[in-house]
Amino acid sequence: MNVLLKNQEYLIFLAGVMVSSGIIKSNNYFAPIFSWLLDKFKSKKLVVYFVSFVSGILPVSGRVSVSAGILDTLTPKNNCKSRSKFGIIDYLATHHYYLWSPLEKTIIIPMAVLSLTYLQVMSYLWPLLLVTFIYTICYIKVMVNEEDIEINKQINIEKTKISFVLFPLLASVGFLIAGHNGNLIFGALSIYYIILSKDFKFWRHINWGLMGLLFLVTCAANYISTYDKVFEDYIKNQNNIWLACVFGFLFSFLLGSSGKFIGIAVLLTKIFGMKYFVLFFALEYSGYLISPSHKCTCIGKMYFGTPILDYAKVLLLWIILIIITAVSVIKI
């Protein structure tokens, strides 16, 4: 029974995140927030920097489309060359969250399966996050010019609405980072948004497939913990870890799913030890980023006309930097 129930309370946490994010998206609650930001910034490029780091914050299906819709307001409609750059920015803007956001399954699942706090997870992943942020900033600085950006300022922004939507979310994330119980925090936050929106069919925002995945991965990790001596004896031959690295990367590449790549990463970590967590995360994340099953590049191409070859060049350099960083970290 312990194999089935240990750490399953994180299902409440994940459900709370899904309900809160789904209600925010379906009611377009962030629209006035982004309008206010666009109205306040003076530098066009500064707007792009900021929007690229916040526009994909909601952990919802189709987030690339949400971000693309926001970035689309910053691009000239008839300049194909300028618009194509924003397809890359859209991709970068919606994929750094997997490395740090406490709303993401790629952070929640390691917390649940590996029994870590948020800050403990970040103590492993911060080098990958730093590389990703620097890479994104450099891409925008080098590739995007002021004339590539077109801003239409918004008026009549409801600041009260911004407060009611944004502050509870920021407070919840702050409490989580401070080490408080994520199940209670996001359970309460989801109830708040249900009442605010009067959306009482909240279950439609829950991805039941992902909930099932978290349940199964947690059960598998609990099983491995129960028989850890058996697994420890099996992996004494260190050559096995490199085979695991190759297969983990290949499976993540073929599946093209953020939920599945993190599931693979944490199970391999459970077998081989926390020392290799950052390596497994980097490899599986990289496989996911360049997967042909990953639909985000197709969405960006439809929005901005970005050539697939342009995506390939940027993504390959990014994953090379991520993997080199991970290998360097575990050797220190």
Q: What is the pLDDT of residue 199?
A: 84
Task: Please say if the pLDDT value at position 320 is more than 90.
Answer: yes
Task: Give the pair of three-digit tokens for residue 137.
Answer: 């900033």
How far apart (Å, rounded) are the C-alpha atoms in residues 106 and 268?
14
Q: What percent of the chain has pLDDT over 90?
A: 26
Q: Minimal CA–CA distance to 285: which of 253, 324, 311?
A: 253
Task: Give the pair of three-digit tokens for residue 213.
Answer: 């995945």
- Residue 205 has φ and ψ, to the nearest 5°, of -90, -5
Comparing 3 with 79, the larger pLDDT belongs to 79
Q: What is the pLDDT of residue 229?
A: 58
- Of 141-155, 159-173, 291-305, 312-326, which range is least confident? 141-155
Q: Running DSSP on this structure, what letter comes out for residue 71? A: H
Mean pLDDT of the 130-144 span:
92
pLDDT band at 155 (very low <50, low <70, confident <90, very high): very low
pLDDT tens-digit profile of 97-135? 999 988 888 999 999 889 899 999 999 999 999 999 999
pLDDT tens-digit profile of 53-67? 776 666 655 566 557
How far apart (Å, rounded) are the C-alpha atoms in residues 190 and 5?
23
Q: What percent of the chain has pLDDT over 70?
A: 76
How far apart (Å, rounded) are the C-alpha atoms in residues 307 and 309?
5
Locate the domains of the chain by residue range: 2-331
Task: Give the pair of three-digit tokens for residue 98.
Answer: 């997997």
- In the chain, the N- to C-terminal Cα span, in Å, equals 39
Give Cα 33 to chain centroid, integer Å: 21
Q: Minimal CA–CA distance to 280: which of 244, 240, 320?
A: 244
How far apart (Å, rounded) are the C-alpha atoms in residues 52 and 48?
6
- Of 204-208, 228-232, 309-313, which range is least confident? 228-232
Q: What is the mean pLDDT of the chain?
A: 80
Q: What is the pLDDT of residue 276?
A: 94
Comparing 325 with 300, the larger pLDDT belongs to 325
Q: What is the pLDDT of residue 131?
A: 97
- Residue 198 CB coordination number (10 Å): 8
Task: Give the pair of three-digit tokens for residue 76.
Answer: 């000239």
